[in-house]
Amino acid sequence: MQFDDGSYGVIDFKTGDPSDDKTAIYSRQLQAYALALENPAPGAHSLGPVSRLGLLYFTPDVCRYVGNGRQEMSGPMTWIEIPKDDRAFRNFLKEVILLLDGPLPDPERQNCDWCQYRSKYERLANG
C-alpha cells in the first residue's frame, strides 16, 4: 500500500485470534518484509521507504455451506499496528548470524535426533 507521502505500508493478513505471542513473532516477519522491500536486488524495483507495518487479523466465528462447493465465513477484523524498528531488527539478525556461525553444541549422540538423522544420511550417502 502506498501513502500520499510516497512511503509504503506493509500489511500481513492473518486468520485466527490475535495474541501478544503471535504478534511478537509476526512483528519480526513484517520487519523482514520491510527490509527486503527497501533493499531489493540490483535492478529490482524498490518499494520504500516503508513507514508503517501492521497485522490485519480475521477471526471467523461463523462458517456455513452455501452450495456449489462454497463456504461463507464471517467474523471480526482486528488491526494491530507494529512499530517499525530497523535497529532492533538488525540487532536480532546479528544475533541469529552469530548463533548460526558459532560452534555446535556437543550433544549426546544417542539423545540427539539431528545426530541420528545425519548419521543415517551419511551411511546412505556413502553406500
Containing structural domain, residue 13: 8-88
Tell me whether residue 67 is in a domain.
Answer: yes
Would you say 86 and 35 are in contact if contact means Cβ atoms under 8 Å apart? yes
Tens of pLDDT, residues 42-87: 999 889 999 999 999 999 999 999 999 999 999 999 999 999 999 9
Tell me whether residue 123 is in a domain.
Answer: no
Tell me whether residue 42 is in a domain.
Answer: yes
* pTM exceeds 0.75 for this model: no
Tens of pLDDT, residues 81-111: 999 999 999 999 999 998 888 877 666 666 7
Tell me whether residue 113 is in a domain.
Answer: no
Distance (Å, rounded) from C-alpha 57 to C-alpha 12?
Answer: 8
Q: Which residues of 45-81 are buried (b: 16+ CB within 10 A; e: fewer)?
A: eebeebebbebebeeeeeeeeeeeeeeeeeeeeeebe
Which three-class secondary structure state does DSSP give residue 81?
A: strand
Instruction: Please state the domain count of the chain.
Output: 1
